[in-house]
């Protein structure tokens, strides 16, 4: 077992008896006086727990907990779709919704409920259209930053998304819905093998009655079918929440995300935006000018686990 320590990142490697890699675990240190001290695999994303042989995963779990104890961290959170460990406690319940895509957009359209098809047609009748490509990053960020401000949540930096697009290349898909030249809905996600995940999606609230988000998701699905992708992953959500109901209406299936955590002597270590102590901060954030939130937000978002 070996670990590499950077300023904010740790990378654990488990080896077998021959010295070959048997498993890996990336961790990111998230530390602030306001929210606490955590190790997370991986923050901002939905999956990133230990991978490798069963023995390697156990070794990596022990290494991560040892790093947390040694550095005084309150929690180690493992975010994964596959890592189950009865010795670790569950964090806030999360699910993703997976939709099997047919061989053609026409077959998908035929399988949608009439109400759903009418909601997709509405923005089309208003002259809205979807554009894709790396050149849509600026427009995506404007929509995303505005929506995060309205939700009362600090926004990730534009540089973060640009770096993802650069590193991931054509595995990164960015799409934007336009209405008379204005970006009114946008999405950013990733392709991995035969699956696409819509990791971030937002719309401009004043246009929500025209349902641009419906056209956004339909446009992404059409594009993924054309690229031979067979699974549309709607991204994580809280069971029963409005976003969950939105995703379920497309006909997908819930897949629980078995996020687990070591919390040591801190059984309630993970902060939640629903806690009353954050209520005033959320309300204040919603009133800030958008340019201000785009400057301050990235400084705060990196401190959230």
pLDDT, residue 223, reads: 98
pLDDT band (50, 70, 90) for residue 17: confident
Most confident stretch, 19-28, 33-42, 66-75, 129-138? 129-138
> Higher confidence at residue 277 or residue 76?
76
pLDDT, residue 273, reads: 55
Question: Which tens digit of pLDDT belongs to each residue from 215-261?
Answer: 999 999 999 999 999 999 999 999 999 999 999 999 999 999 888 88
Q: Which CATH code is given to the segment(s) 2-92+259-271?
A: 3.40.630.30
Q: Enter the tokens of residue 44.
A: 């901002």
154 DSSP assignment: P
303 DSSP assignment: T
Q: Among 23-27, 170-174, 281-285, whose mean pLDDT is lowest?
A: 281-285
CATH topology identical between 2-92+259-271 and 95-257: yes
**Average pLDDT in the 57-65 region?**
91
Helices (H), 80-211: 105-111, 114-125, 137-151, 158-168
**Average pLDDT in the 138-144 region?**
98
pLDDT at 10 over 90: no
pLDDT at 107 over 60: yes
CA distances from 244 to 231, 234, 240, 258, 270 (A): 17, 9, 6, 17, 22
Query: Residue 172's closest CA among 223, 130, 215?
Result: 223
- Cis? peptide before 42, omega within 30° of 0: yes
Other C-beta atoms closer than 10 Å to the C-beta of 299 total 10
In the chain, the percentage of residues whose pLDDT exceeds 90 is 59
List Cβ neighbours of 258 (8 Å cut-off, separation of 6 or more): 80, 81, 82, 83, 84, 90
**Residue ranges per structural domain of the chain:** 2-92+259-271, 95-257
32 bridge partner residues: 36
pLDDT band (50, 70, 90) for residue 191: very high
Distance between CA atoms of residues 28 and 7, nearest Å: 9
CA distances from 101 to 16, 144, 237, 305 (A): 39, 26, 20, 33
Q: Among 2-6, 8-12, 238-242, whose mean pLDDT is lowest?
A: 2-6
- In degrees rounded to 5, what are phi and psi of residue 105? -65, -30
Decide if domain 95-257 falls under CATH 3.40.630.30.
Answer: yes
List Cβ neighbours of 297 (8 Å cut-off, separation of 6 or more): 145, 148, 149, 154, 155, 156, 157
pLDDT, residue 161, reads: 96
pLDDT band (50, 70, 90) for residue 35: confident
Query: Residue 277's closest CA among 26, 83, 29, 35?
Result: 35
User: What mean pLDDT is reported for the chain?
Assistant: 89
Answer whether 185's CB lies under 8 Å from 216's CB.
Answer: yes
> Higher confidence at residue 85 or residue 76?
76
> Higher confidence at residue 33 or residue 234?
234
pLDDT band (50, 70, 90) for residue 92: confident
**Average pLDDT in the 170-188 region?**
97
pLDDT at 274 over 60: no
pLDDT band (50, 70, 90) for residue 275: low
């Amino acid at each position: 077992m070996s670990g590499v320590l950077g300023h904010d990142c740790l990378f654990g490697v488990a080896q077998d008896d021959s010295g070959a890699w048997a498993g890996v675990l990336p961790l990111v240190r998230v530390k602030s006086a306001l929210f606490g001290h955590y190790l997370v695999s991986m923050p901002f994303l939905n999956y990133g727990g230990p991978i490798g042989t069963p023995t390697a995963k156990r070794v990596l779990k022990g290494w991560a907990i040892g790093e947390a104890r040694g550095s005084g961290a309150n929690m180690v959170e493992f975010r994964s779709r596959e890592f189950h460990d009865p010795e670790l406690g569950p964090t806030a319940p999360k699910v993703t919704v997976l939709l099997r895509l047919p061989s053609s957009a026409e077959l998908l359209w035929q399988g949608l409920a009439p109400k759903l098809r009418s909601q997709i047609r509405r923005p089309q009748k208003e002259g809205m259209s979807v554009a894709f490509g790396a050149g849509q990053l600026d427009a995506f960020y404007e929509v995303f930053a505005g929506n995060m401000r309205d939700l009362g949540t600090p926004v990730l930096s534009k540089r973060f998304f640009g770096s993802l697009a650069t590193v991931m290349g054509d595995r990164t898909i960015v799409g934007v819905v336009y209405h008379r030249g204005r970006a009114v809905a946008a999405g950013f996600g990733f392709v991995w093998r035969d699956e696409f995940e819509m990791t971030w999606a937002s719309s401009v609230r004043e246009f929500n009655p025209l349902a641009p988000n419906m056209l956004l998701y339909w446009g992404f699905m059409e594009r993924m079918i054309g690229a031979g992708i067979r699974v549309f992953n709607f991204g994580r959500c809280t069971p029963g929440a409005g976003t969950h109901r939105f995703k379920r209406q497309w006909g997908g299936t819930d897949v629980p995300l078995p996020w687990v955590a070591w919390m040591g002597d801190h059984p309630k270590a993970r902060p939640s935006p629903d806690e009353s102590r954050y209520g005033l901060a959320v309300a204040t954030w919603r009133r800030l000018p958008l340019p201000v939130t785009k400057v301050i937000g990235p400084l705060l978002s990196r401190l959230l686990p």
